[in-house]
Amino acid sequence: MKIIVTGGTGLVGSGIKSIQENYPEMTFFYLNSKDCDLKNYQDTLEVFKKIRPDTVIHLAANVGGLYKNMTQRVEMFEENILMNLNVIKASYQVGVKNLLACLSTCVFPDGIVPLNENILNDGAPHPSNEGYAYAKRMLELHCRLYTQQYDINYRCIIPTNIYGNNDNYNLEDSHVIPGLIHRCYLAKQQGLPFVIRGTGKPIRQFIYNIDLAKIIIDMIQYNIKTNIIASPSQEHSIEYIARLIAKKFEYNNIMFDDTFSDGQYSKTADNSKLINIFQNFEFTDLETGISRTVDYFIENYTTVKR
């Protein structure tokens, strides 16, 4: 089986790469922006024609944390719309019948909990990330339309907050865990307070990138024909996450800056469909995952994305 992985050098793509040796029957082709501009349809189609994949795992996206979503709404919408459209269309043109695209729980309607796979379009997403969220909703719709019209299997996986090795640790554009890791590292280096933006009260579910990679491969292997939320059951506050990171760094000078927005307080995701399908799946516990991620960040500080 030949598999194209878009966004192949990103957080989830690198997670798949780290476990690919466990799947000798699969040959992976990891695409990044140097290989192909997914915002250009002809570039995308040419690469897909050259590889002729059996399966596509579509991970590529313009992504970021709360503040990037709030300040770059147009770019988040337009660039993701273009990439998603081109990947889906090129996949069909070269005969791909099995495609799995990655969404995010931020696409769900604001104020409805728990989140489940059936309420994706039951209301508007939170205003803080509507550009990204609506682009991802269109991706789910695009997959669904192709599946219905052409009798193929294009579906989506919807992970909660992802973290792990090879993340983006930019102080302004990253997701919560890599951003906190970088801030704590710098605070300790400079002898300054470790500042957490917001009150630390919002709660989230977090999935280790290796765990998500395993679920993605399982969905491909077993040809699962449905959208699935990928998440552990446990929820943790941002304050709890920050204190775990500070504990790993052995640094206790912590303060919260409540002049920054908290965003949504809760986005509780219902993982019952996942657990029902993969009954024996074991998630990496959060403290272990964060410990490994901090170790990776420190060891690779000069080369990590920041």
Active site residues: 132
Task: Give rounded-to-5 percent helix, strand, coil for the chain.
Answer: 45, 15, 40
DSSP string for 63-92: ---HHHHHH-HHHHHHHHHHHHHHHHHHHH
CA–CA distance from 225 to each of 88, 130, 147, 191, 269 (Å)?
16, 27, 10, 52, 20
Spell out the residues 6+ positions from residue 38 whose beta carbon is closer than 8 angstroms to its own. 6, 31, 44, 60, 82, 83, 86, 87
- Residue 29 φ then ψ, to 5°: -120, 110
Instruction: Write the DSSP symbol of residue 168.
Output: B
Q: Is the peptide bond before 114 cis (omega within 30 degrees of 0)?
A: yes
* Coil vs helix vs strand at 96: coil
Tallying the residues shown for the chain, one arrives at 306
Strands 236-237 and 203-204: antiparallel
